[in-house]
Amino acid sequence: MELRSVEELMDLLYACRGSWADPGPGKGRVDLHQHALQTAALLRRRRPADKELQVAGLVHAIGPLLRPGDATAHPVSAADAVRGLLGERVGRLVREHHRSAGPVDDDLLCLRQADEEGHSAGFDAGVLEDWRTVLELLAARNSRLGAVD
């Protein structure tokens, strides 16, 4: 599934509310909607100017809704869904945020740390609507870049 609009992405992110993921041994289950907001908020604090990294944190958790029951396909499914709308960098970060082999750049490391902390963070991360403008800006910029190619 490839998302064609920010509205489709927002609908999918809202659908994460009440969906739960098991992050692994020794960690409690996490609401995907809240986890997405907390991961993005943590990245916004650490890298306030890097909107693509923040958005990767916001959308990285949509995989379980796209491919229920197939945990190994979640990062690829999420990346494939957002790449056309939000750009190659966001897609790459989402696809590789759980990869265990190969080189890890600073962006992936930052995303992984925020992802980990976002499983147990206990702060008010705001609401999804706060991210609409950022998503629209990235989608518009990616659309212009795609038109130039």
The class of domain 6-148 in CATH terms is mainly alpha
Q: What is the pLDDT of residues 52-86, one digit of tens each?
A: 999 999 999 899 889 888 878 889 999 999 999 99
Quick check: 147 pLDDT over 60?
Answer: no
Confidence bin at 14 (pLDDT 50/70/90): very high
Mean pLDDT of 46-53: 97
Quick check: 27 pLDDT over 60?
Answer: no
pTM equals 0.89
Q: Indicate the DSSP class of residue 26.
A: T
Quick check: 149 pLDDT over 60?
Answer: no
Confidence bin at 30 (pLDDT 50/70/90): confident
| Under 8 Å between Cβ of 2 and 81 | yes
Task: Report long-range pairs for 50-53 (Cβ below 8 Å, ≥24 apart).
Answer: 50/107, 51/134, 51/137, 51/138, 52/86, 52/87, 52/89, 52/90, 52/93, 52/138, 53/93, 53/107, 53/110, 53/111
pLDDT at res. 24: 53
Quick check: 12 pLDDT over 80?
Answer: yes
Alpha helices in the chain (DSSP H): 6-15, 32-46, 51-59, 63-66, 74-86, 88-96, 106-118, 132-148
Q: Domain residue spans in the chain?
A: 6-148
Distance of CA 95 to the CA centre of its chain: 10
pLDDT at res. 121: 67
Q: For 30, phi and psi rounded to 5 degrees?
A: -135, 140
Q: For 100, phi and psi rounded to 5 degrees?
A: -100, -20
Q: What is the pLDDT of residues 83-140, one digit of tens each?
A: 999 999 999 999 998 776 767 789 999 999 999 898 876 778 999 999 999 999 999 9
pLDDT at res. 99: 73
Nearest Cα to Cα of residue 141 among 75, 133, 102 = 133
Q: Indicate the DSSP class of residue 92.
A: H
